[in-house]
Amino acid sequence: MRKQFLFIFSAFIVAYTSQAQTRTTRIGYIDMEYILENVSDYKEAKAQLELKAQKWKQDIEAKKLDINILKEGLKAERALLTKELIDERETEIKFLENEMLDYQQKQFGAEGNLIHQKAALAKPIQDQVFTAVQDIAEAKSYDFVFDKSSDLTMLFSNKKFDISDQVIRVLNRTDKREQLTKKQLKDQEAKEKVENAIDENPAMQDRQKALDEKRTAREKLIEDRRLEQEAKKKEYDDRRKAIAAEREAKKNGTVSEPAKTDATAKPATATDGTAKPATTGTEATTTDPSVDKAAERQKLYEQRKKELEDRRKKILEEREAAKKAKEAEPQKSNTTNN
């Protein structure tokens, strides 16, 4: 019985070893820094921490400025101070310098608040990442998953083994599921199946990437056309408003701005050489439109009258010349006969 058990156990070990040798080992890796930078909660908290660090830096700069002021004051007054006062001021400056260095080390040192708060900020996200990595590794039969951003040295890494984007999608799905209705949840699950199929098939990944690029280019083209149409519409509206304003100005009898400037800047000169008083802006803008139209009609009438008078004179001159030429012909014939 014991020999049979040993034989069966040995056969099982040999079969398992043979199966392990024939099966391909699956290896993947993640980039923890890349994942953290693409998680919205972490980015918001990191931005707040950076504001706090900026405040710490400003406090340190203010302390340095105060110390430099004390040093300059001591340097200027050293010749007037006793040795006791000089020692007292130097002791105060040394105390403030040590206090500033302690504050700087407390905030930005290797064990400072900035390092601790960054670690506390990343810890919940890292826990979620580890959980997501375990789920992906179990679902897709990964044997090893490494962290590219850790102390592990990776001399070369093929992008197709990077599952960082899959981890980010898992984290985003978890956040979205809490806010979705049943119908939206069903649509989300269908979308997740498509994404999982793309992750499994590199050819589908390339195809999907090409489709995404085309969609992005198409959306950019549509946006450019929309902006162009808005610019044309704005230009048309501005032109229409300008024409309407010009018509309104003519209707009200107002004078344009350049005309006002000329009227106020250059006084008119009378025929006798004396300067007439300049027309004020009020007088220019209050010109009666009916008077302008009457003056224009009178000017056209005078011009037409002059043209008719010139034409009448020309006709009379032509008739007089023809009459003289006709009278001269009989006299010329009589001369030739004699």
- DSSP letters of 296-320? HHHHHHHHHHHHHHHHHHHHHHHHH
Closest Cα to residue 59, out of 107, 112, 129? 107
Interval 269-316: pLDDT, tens: 444 444 444 444 444 444 455 556 677 777 887 888 888 888 888 888
Closest Cα to residue 117, out of 50, 54, 39? 50
236 pLDDT exceeds 80?
yes
Residue 293 lies in a domain: no
pTM to 2 decimals?
A: 0.43
Residue 237 lies in a domain: yes
Residue 229 lies in a domain: yes
Closest Cα to residue 157, out of 45, 52, 27, 258? 27
Domain identity same for 77 and 224? no
Residue 275: CB partners within 8 Å, gap ≥ 6? 267, 268, 269
Q: Which of 71-80, 103-112, 160-169 has the lowest mean pLDDT?
A: 160-169
Residue-number span of the structural domain to which 14 is assigned: 2-200
Q: How confident is the model at residue 123 (pLDDT cuts 50, 70, 90)?
A: confident
Asked which of 238, 254, 270 is the last residue of a domain, the reply is 254
Residue 223 lies in a domain: yes
Residue 89 lies in a domain: yes
Residue 273 lies in a domain: no
Q: How confident is the model at residue 249 (pLDDT cuts 50, 70, 90)?
A: confident
Residue 35 lies in a domain: yes
**Structure letter (DSSP) for residue 181:** -
Q: Any idea which residue has 């660090």 for tokens? A: 53
pLDDT, position 205? 63
Domain identity same for 101 and 223? no
Domain identity same for 191 and 229? no
Domain identity same for 57 and 179? yes
pLDDT, position 277? 47
pLDDT, position 98? 94
Q: Helices marked H in the chain — which ranges?
A: 2-22, 32-37, 40-77, 83-108, 113-140, 164-177, 182-200, 202-252, 257-265, 281-285, 289-337
| Angle ∠(174,175,180) on CA atoms, nearest 5 | 95
Q: How confident is the model at residue 261 (pLDDT cuts 50, 70, 90)?
A: very low
31 pLDDT exceeds 60?
yes
Domain identity same for 122 and 250? no
Domain identity same for 48 and 77? yes
Domain identity same for 184 and 208? no
Domain identity same for 179 and 218? no
Asked which of 166, 184, 200 is the last residue of a domain, the reply is 200
Residue 192 lies in a domain: yes
Average pLDDT over all residues of the chain = 76
- The total domain count for the chain is 2
Q: Any idea which residue has 């010009």 for tokens? A: 246
Domain identity same for 196 and 208? no
Domain identity same for 155 and 46? yes
Torsion angle in degrees (nearest 10) through CA of 216, 218, 224, 228: -160
Q: Which residue has the higher pLDDT, 34 or 202?
A: 34
Q: Helices marked H in 266-288 — which ranges?
A: 281-285
281 near 264, Cβ under 8 Å?
yes
Domain identity same for 143 and 39? yes
Q: How confident is the model at residue 177 (pLDDT cuts 50, 70, 90)?
A: low
Domain identity same for 184 and 220? no
* Percentage of the chain exceeding pLDDT 70: 67
247 pLDDT exceeds 90?
no
141 pLDDT exceeds 60?
yes
User: Would you tell me the crossing angle of helices 164-177 and 113-140 to the nearest 10 degrees?
Assistant: 100
188 near 177, Cβ under 8 Å?
yes
pLDDT, position 69? 94
125 near 41, Cβ under 8 Å?
yes
pLDDT, position 280? 46
